[in-house]
Amino acid sequence: MAIERLLKDEATEEKGERARMASFIGAMAIADLVKTTLGPKGMDKILQSTDRGRSLTVTNDGATILKSLHIDNPAAKVLVDISKVQDDEVGDGTTSVVVLAGELLREAEKLTMAKIHPMTIIAGYRMAAECARNALLQRTMDNKQDPEKFREDLMKIAITTLSSKILSQDKEHFAKLAVDAVMRLKGSTNLEAIQIIKKAGGSLSDSFLDEGFILDKKIGIGQPKRIENAKILVANTAMDTDKVKIYGARVRVDSMAKVAQIEAAEKEKMREKVQKIVAHGINCFVNRQLIYNFPEELFADAGILAIEHADFDGIERLALVTGGEIASTFDNPESVKLGHCKLIEEIMIGEDKLIHFSGVEMGQACTIVLRGASSHVLDEAERSLHDALCVLSQTVNDTRVLFGGGWPEMVMARQVDELARRTPGKKSHAIEAFSRALQIIPTIIAGNAGLDSAELISQLRAEHHKENSKAGIDVITGNVGDMEKLGISESFKVKQAVLLSATEAAEMILRVDEIITCAPRKREDRM
């Protein structure tokens, strides 16, 4: 007798072969979706959001594309997740990781068709991934000792990363910007200190790196527009009406006269506060919260530049660059650390006025001003630059470098192939499949560039059978080229993360033999 219901209504259950098929197909669909964006000649995607604004995004950043998709297939969600993690962790390679995982699953599908148990495939994949990682490790280059060369490496990596993005037209320019910005961080991975300001207008090549700090705010009316040798107090305090914070306090009066008195007292309180701030001997005051007209006027009277409503990141960054501390009480002017900079002035970028702090004490932070034709271009440029900055800052910490252009994949594929030949048993099929999946990545890069991928890959493979080959795909000329001469490099850390997380994700999906989907949670009717 059939059991009527084991699970709740609307909950579904997929078993065995069907479940596996469902997850393979979901994962491969995702991989195919982002496949065409891979490599220097990859294409972009237009994403239209479903919200009221119907806003558009044009991008070829894998993580951005996948983040904006509404996906129902659980296996596909796993892939979206790894791409997101890749973005958080190393910043680049978000597309490659999904494509590689997709290819691994595609190969696994063929193997399961040939009646090889998923567990056997997993065992093979694990061995292959380990072997591939070792192969990469052996071939890394490290120029940590030589700062000149290391900087060159960074430039190469930045150019390689940027060449697949919208910035590829001016990649040298931007690579230099990115490298300069990252070198200023001195090993810290805190990208918060690099501010990116987007201003529409001009062309991408008008973008520049500013050593100082730019705050996207206006200077109050009647206040000095230019201050030399500025002493800056960075604050986070209420400059509207200073509320009484004691719980339950309220004003209860019985005559108009008293209202006026209290108002006067309130004003007096604000005046005192301003005086205390002025007593710090500053000539610039930056507050995170609003500054009302009254205190602003007071500041103007004292000849102090007051900037209101800077966002929290801006405040933190400003404190970082000027070396001041973020203050909220003003009773001990002698012990508060003030920030310093040589010059504060209002500058114009395009049509907007911005406040520029130059000659700051700490050189860590800097600002990159991006110019471009439209906001879409600027958004995409920011994402690209962010990718480049992430990769660079990771490379500063882990200085190992590899060649690019499909070289690492071919190196790994060769080693994995050799392992397959040495390994007895069914596992060797899986190992072989792993090597095939690795080779798919250069194939896709070549394919996206409109080259004869089959021809190129076979040439490349032949090339790689020589010891210490440096051959990779030269997308520009459409031939196999020497990666060292072409100056195409990638960070080891990114490649390793791609390899490991793609294998992990593929393994995870392979192990599934049943999918149970709960009934979607009912939305409450808000009608």
Partner 1 sequence: MNLNLRTDFTISTRHKYNGFHCALPSLLKLPISPLPRFSPAHFFQNPPVLSLSLSAASGGCGIRGGGGGCDLQKGEVAMALAFDEYGRPFIILREQEHKTRLRGLEAQKANIAAGKAVARILRTSLGPKGMDKMLQSPDGDVIITNDGATILEQMDVDNQIAKLMVELSRSQDYEIGDGTTGVVVLAGALLEQSEKLLERGIHPIRIAEGYEMASRIAWDHLEQISQKFEFSVTNIEPLVQTCSTTLSSKIVSRRKRDLAAIAVEAVLAVADLERRDVNLDLIKVEGKVGGKLEDTELVHGIIVDKDMSHPQMPKRIEDAKIAILTCPFEPPKPKTKHKVDIDTVEKFQTLRQQEQKYFDDMVQKCKDVGATLVICQWGFDDEANHLLMHRNLPAVRWVGGVELELIAIATGGRIVPRFQELTPEKLGRAGIVREKSFGTTKDRMLYIEQCANSRAVTIFIRGGNKMMIEETKRSIHDALCVARNLIRNNSIVYGGGSAEISCSVAVEAAADRHPGVEQYAIRAFAEALDAIPMALAENSGLQPIDTLTAVKSQQVKENNPYCGIDCNDVGTNDMREQDVFETLIGKQQQILLATQVVKMILKIDDVITPSDY
Within residues 212-241, the interface with partner 1 by CB under 8 A covers: 236-238
Q: Is 342 helix (H, G, I), strand (E, B) or coil?
A: strand
> Closer CB to partner 1, residue 165 or residue 464?
165
Residues 6+ apart with CB under 8 A from 519: 8, 9, 10, 11
By CB under 8 A, which span of 330-338, 347-355, 369-377, 402-410 interacts with partner 1? Answer: 330-338
Catalytic residue list contains 387:
yes
Check binding of 196 to partner 1 (CB under 8 A).
no
Check binding of 258 to partner 1 (CB under 8 A).
yes
By CB under 8 A, which span of 46-54, 57-65, 118-126, 296-304 interacts with partner 1? Answer: 118-126
Minimum CB distance to partner 1, residue 523 (Å): 11
Containing 295, the helix (H) or strand (E) segment is: helix 293-301
Minimum CB distance to partner 1, residue 57 (Å): 20
Within residues 393-422, the interface with partner 1 by CB under 8 A covers: 393-394
Among 36, 37, 57, 61, the active-site one is 61
In the chain the first and final C-alpha atoms are separated, in Å, by 43
By CB under 8 A, which span of 27-35, 103-111, 186-194, 437-445 interacts with partner 1? Answer: 186-194
Containing 155, the helix (H) or strand (E) segment is: helix 147-163
Q: Which of 53, 138, 145, 247 binds partner 1 (CB under 8 A)?
A: 247
**CB 39, CB 475: distance < 8 Å:** yes
Check binding of 300 to partner 1 (CB under 8 A).
no
Q: Which of 248, 422, 485, 524 binds partner 1 (CB under 8 A)?
A: 248
C-alpha 505 chain-centroid distance? 21
Catalytic residue list contains 95:
yes
**CB 177, CB 366: distance < 8 Å:** no
Within residues 496-525, the interface with partner 1 by CB under 8 A covers: 497, 500-501, 504-505, 507-508, 511-521
String of contacts with partner 1 for each residue 83-102, x by CB under 8 A: --x-xxxxx-----------
String of contacts with partner 1 for each residue 430-469, x by CB under 8 A: ----------------------------------------
Kindly list the distances between the CA atom of residue 448 and the CA atoms of 34, 46, 269, 472, in Å, as whole numbers in the listed order: 11, 17, 67, 15
Alpha-carbon distance 232 to 229, whole Å? 10
Structure tokens at 371: 């110019």
Containing 183, the helix (H) or strand (E) segment is: helix 171-185
Minimum CB distance to partner 1, residue 448 (Å): 26
Alpha-carbon distance 78 to 11, whole Å? 20
Strand intervals (E) in 261-392: 284-287, 305-307, 326-327, 339-349, 352-360, 366-372
Q: Which of 67, 77, 176, 309 binds partner 1 (CB under 8 A)?
A: 77
Structure tokens at 184: 């200023």
The candidate with the shortest Cα–Cα distance to 191, out of 417, 403, 335, 389, is 389
Among 387, 399, 443, 474, the active-site one is 387
Within residues 124-163, the interface with partner 1 by CB under 8 A covers: 126
Check binding of 265 to partner 1 (CB under 8 A).
yes
Task: Read off the amino acid at residue 229.
Answer: N
Question: In 10 A of CB 157, how many CB atoms?
Answer: 28
**CB 187, CB 144: distance < 8 Å:** no
Minimum CB distance to partner 1, residue 393 (Å): 7
Q: Give, in degrees to the nearest 5, the angle at Cα 152 between 146 and 156.
A: 140
Within residues 7-36, the interface with partner 1 by CB under 8 A covers: 7-9, 11, 13, 19, 23
CA-based R_g, the chain, Å:
29
Minimum CB distance to partner 1, residue 458 (Å): 32
Q: Which of 143, 189, 358, 428 binds partner 1 (CB under 8 A)?
A: 189
Within residues 355-394, the interface with partner 1 by CB under 8 A covers: 390, 393-394
Among 36, 64, 95, 160, the active-site one is 95
C-alpha 479 chain-centroid distance? 32
Among 36, 37, 94, 367, the active-site one is 94
Q: Which of 256, 335, 351, 467 binds partner 1 (CB under 8 A)?
A: 335
Active site members: 61, 94-95, 387
